[in-house]
């Protein structure tokens, strides 16, 4: 089974707990957690150090249905989870990702991460599993863990986005 890498930060315990609870309720696969900073580039590098293939998720993702994993496990090639911007989330292969991430320093600011988030889909032309999931097709806005979120997703998974305006 494809392992999962979750990117988080030490001050996001509530988000991580929600994410892990949803994963544990829907699958028994290996979960690797990157919580030592560096934003998504560092989390992706953490995944590459542990697996040739992995699924990267943000800690603000909730898996709603075990069928999510059936869809994910059908993909043998790299794939983004959602439409533009895919927020780094997807099935990554170290061989595809490593040459691209070598362009970026290990430590990032939030502004760097947002810029790279916009650049990466042009550099990694992956298939998109759910291209219709975008900010424009958001399900709702919702207050959660002290912030207003744009909630995107479908009946299988949701992502709470805090940076969306």
Question: How many domains does one find in the chain?
Answer: 1
Reduced 3-state DSSP string for 75-131? CCCCEEEECCCCCCCEEEEHHHHHHHHCCCCCCCCHHHHHHHHHHHHHHCCCEEEEC
CB 121 within 8 A of CB 80: yes
- Residue 148 within any structural domain of the chain: no
Question: Can you give the pTM of this predicted structure?
Answer: 0.95
- Round to whole Å and give the CA distance between 64 and 16: 15
- Residue 57 within any structural domain of the chain: yes
- Residue 104 within any structural domain of the chain: yes
- Residue 130 vs residue 101, higher pLDDT: 130
Place of tokens 């150090």: 49
Q: What pLDDT shows up at residue 106?
A: 72
- Residue 146 within any structural domain of the chain: no
Q: What pLDDT shows up at residue 9?
A: 87
pLDDT at 165 over 60: no
- Residue 162 within any structural domain of the chain: no
Q: What pLDDT shows up at residue 37?
A: 75
- Residue 163 vs residue 23, higher pLDDT: 23
- Round to whole Å and give the CA distance between 43 and 55: 11
- Residue 129 vs residue 114, higher pLDDT: 129
- Residue 106 within any structural domain of the chain: yes
- Round to whole Å and give the CA distance between 82 and 135: 10
- Residue 66 within any structural domain of the chain: yes
Tokens in use for 82?
């959602």
List the one residue out of 71, 32, 39 whose CA is nearest residue 53: 32
Place of tokens 């590459």: 48
| Average pLDDT of the segment spanning 131-142 | 96
pLDDT at 164 over 70: no
Question: pLDDT digit string (tens) for 83-127?
Answer: 988 999 999 999 999 999 999 887 778 888 889 989 999 999 999
Residues in the chain: 165
Range of the domain at 47: 4-132
pLDDT at 39 over 90: no
Question: pLDDT digit string (tens) for 44-77?
Answer: 999 999 999 999 999 999 999 999 999 999 999 9
């Amino acid at each position: 089974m494809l392992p999962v890498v979750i990117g988080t930060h030490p001050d996001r315990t509530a988000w991580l707990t929600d994410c892990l609870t949803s994963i544990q309720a829907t699958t028994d696969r290996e979960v690797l957690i990157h919580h030592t900073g560096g934003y998504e580039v560092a989390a992706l590098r953490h995944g590459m150090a542990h697996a040739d293939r992995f699924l990267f998720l943000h800690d603000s993702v909730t898996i709603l249905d075990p069928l999510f994993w059936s869809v994910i496990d059908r993909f043998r090639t790299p794939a983004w989870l959602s439409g533009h911007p895919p927020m780094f989330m997807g099935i990554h292969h170290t061989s595809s990702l490593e040459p691209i991430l070598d362009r970026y320093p290990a430590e990032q600011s939030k502004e760097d991460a947002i810029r790279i988030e916009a650049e990466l889909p042009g550099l990694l032309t992956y298939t998109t599993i759910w291209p219709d999931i975008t900010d424009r097709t958001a399900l709702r806005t919702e207050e959660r863990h002290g912030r207003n979120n744009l909630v995107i997703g479908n009946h299988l998974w949701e992502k709470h986005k805090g940076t969306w305006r």
